[in-house]
């Protein structure tokens, strides 16, 4: 938990240094209720809105990097991806995951990777079930499907720096 909150603080500082305009998203029950009443499935809000990137919702994570069949990957909870996907469907705003590498309980500074769940869910490996980890109920996110720094926000048409 501490690493996750620390990652959010680091992300916000890094983003502002690069010219990204962020707005912290309230995580209280009231903030969810006004969206949940319009959705038939469970939703999840991101941590930030990026105002100069099509109001993208950014979910900041801090994850341990590990090897799967010789490839560096992160594990991301499947339920989180699906709940963010439902939120994206509701708001029509893109969802972006920003993942920092975790070293124990610490955030590895400078190791920021980003991706959109849309991209992951459209890969041939996902379609064939190869990215789903049944044991952990997670989606395996190979680093090759992520981009360093803020490049994903630029790809989405954002106006800050990578």
pLDDT in tens, 83-93: 988 888 888 99
How far, rounded to the nearest angstrom, does the alpha carbon of residue 66 sit from its chain's CA centroid?
18
Domains belonging to the chain, first-starting first, are: 2-155 (3.40.1350.10)
Residue 30 pLDDT: 76
pLDDT in tens, 24-35: 998 877 777 777
What CA–CA distances, in Å, run from 45 to 27, 91, 109, 110, 125? 7, 11, 25, 25, 26
Give the mean pLDDT of 73-100.
92
- Is residue 1 very low, low, confident or very high in pLDDT (cuts 50, 70, 90)? low
| DSSP structure string for 44-93 | ---SEEETTTTTEEEEEEEEE-EEETTEEEEEEEHHHHHHHHHHHHHH--
8 Å CB contact between 62 and 106: no
């Amino acid at each position: 938990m501490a690493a996750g909150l620390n990652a959010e603080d680091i992300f916000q500082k890094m983003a502002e240094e690069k010219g990204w305009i962020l707005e912290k998203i309230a995580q209280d029950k009231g903030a969810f209720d006004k969206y949940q009443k319009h959705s038939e499935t469970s939703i999840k809000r991101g941590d930030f809105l990026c105002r100069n990137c099509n109001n993208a919702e950014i979910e900041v994570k801090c994850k341990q990097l590990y090897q799967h069949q010789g490839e560096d990957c992160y594990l991301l909870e499947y339920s989180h991806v699906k709940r963010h996907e439902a939120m994206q469907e509701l708001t029509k705003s893109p969802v972006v995951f920003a993942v920092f590498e975790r070293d124990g309980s610490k955030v590895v500074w400078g190791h920021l990777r980003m991706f959109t769940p849309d991209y992951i869910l459209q890969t041939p490996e996902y379609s064939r079930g190869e990215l789903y980890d049944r044991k952990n109920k997670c989606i395996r996110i190979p680093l090759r499907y992520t981009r360093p720094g803020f490049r994903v926000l630029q790809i989405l048409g954002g106006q800050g720096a990578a």
